[in-house]
Copies of this chain bind each other. A is one copy, B any other.
Amino acid sequence: MEKPRAVLFDAYGTLFDVYSVGLLAEQLFPGHGQALSVLWRDKQIEYTRLVTTSNDGAHYQPFWELTLASLRHACKRLGLALNAEREQQLMNQYRHLSAFPENREVLQALKARKVATGILSNGDPEMLGIAVRSAGLEGLLDHVLSVDGVRRYKTHPDAYRLGTQATGLAASQILFVSCNGWDALGATWFGYRTLWVNRYQLPFEELGTQPTRTGSTLRDVLSFFPS
């Protein structure tokens, strides 16, 4: 099979560690950092789906707003007192999530092989810009694509279509990489070749479709480009 001509990465959970807020969460709410970071993330994704599915996207809010809303909900749910200062601290931390350490070398290796690279993310443009700069990835990405322009979150086809539109390639010529099982599934359904980076040794979704390949770190992207 022809090698992919472009590689698009999911951002949150794939290039950037959404659970890296857990440390600060634990400092602010001792004994609850882990639970808060998991519930915050789950709720954030749930909210992207609710606003996308309901009334044909009429209730869209940018990812930053949904991230704030989900933080507030998660704290109420866990009975944690989120004052304005703590909220600002946690949201600021979310703006500067840790990047996974292998990001740069993988992107550099793709550049060396003359493969187009990009991000296709639920994040809004401002969040993505800050995250990319903080991680020092600017020169290594040809495309930084945000669903904000189409006001539909993944796994809506309008969101995935941003990748084929930006690159001018067919979905089957593009490798889409995500650590989120649901995202790898949605991208596979859309028609992308897919790598699910299963960082946390989770079972894949049970909906009858498998990603093209499964790996354990972003380095497994390079298995699609044998020299």
Q: State the A residues within 8 Å of B (CB).
A: 42, 46-47, 49-56, 58-59, 61, 69-70, 72-73, 76-77, 155-157, 182, 185-186, 189-190, 202-203, 205-209
Q: Is the interface of A mostly helix, strand, loop or mixed?
A: helix
Whether B203 contacts A54 by the Cβ 8 Å rule is no
Give CA–CA (A151, B77) in the complex, Å: 32
Whether A59 contacts B207 by the Cβ 8 Å rule is yes
Whether B53 contacts A49 by the Cβ 8 Å rule is yes
Number of copies: 2
Knowing that A53-B53, A69-B207 touch, tell me 12 more A-B residue pairs with CB under 8 angstroms. Answer: A47-B207, A49-B49, A49-B53, A50-B155, A50-B185, A50-B207, A55-B157, A55-B189, A61-B208, A69-B205, A69-B206, A76-B206
Whether B46 contacts A207 by the Cβ 8 Å rule is no
Give CA–CA (A207, B156) in the complex, Å: 20
Whether A182 contacts B50 by the Cβ 8 Å rule is yes
Whether B54 contacts A206 by the Cβ 8 Å rule is no
Whether B54 contacts A53 by the Cβ 8 Å rule is no
Known: A59-B189, A189-B59. A157 touches B54 (CB 8 A): yes
Q: Collect the chain B residues with CB atoms within 8 Å of residue A205's CB.
A: 47, 50, 69, 73
Give CA–CA (A182, B58) in the complex, Å: 16
Q: Collect the chain B residues with CB atoms within 8 Å of residue A157's CB.
A: 54-56
Q: Collect the chain B residues with CB atoms within 8 Å of residue A50's CB.
A: 155, 182, 185-186, 205, 207
List 20 contacting pairs A-B, 8 Å CB cutoff, sorted by A: A46-B46, A47-B205, A47-B207, A50-B205, A50-B207, A53-B156, A53-B186, A55-B157, A55-B189, A59-B189, A59-B207, A59-B209, A61-B207, A61-B208, A69-B206, A69-B207, A70-B206, A73-B205, A73-B206, A76-B206
Whether B47 contacts A77 by the Cβ 8 Å rule is no
Q: Pick the contact of A203 from B42, B52, B76, B206 — CB < 8 Å?
A: B76
Closest B residue to A181 by beta carbon equals B73
Give CA–CA (A181, B185) in the complex, Å: 26
Whether A51 contacts B207 by the Cβ 8 Å rule is yes
Give CA–CA (A76, B205) in the complex, Å: 10
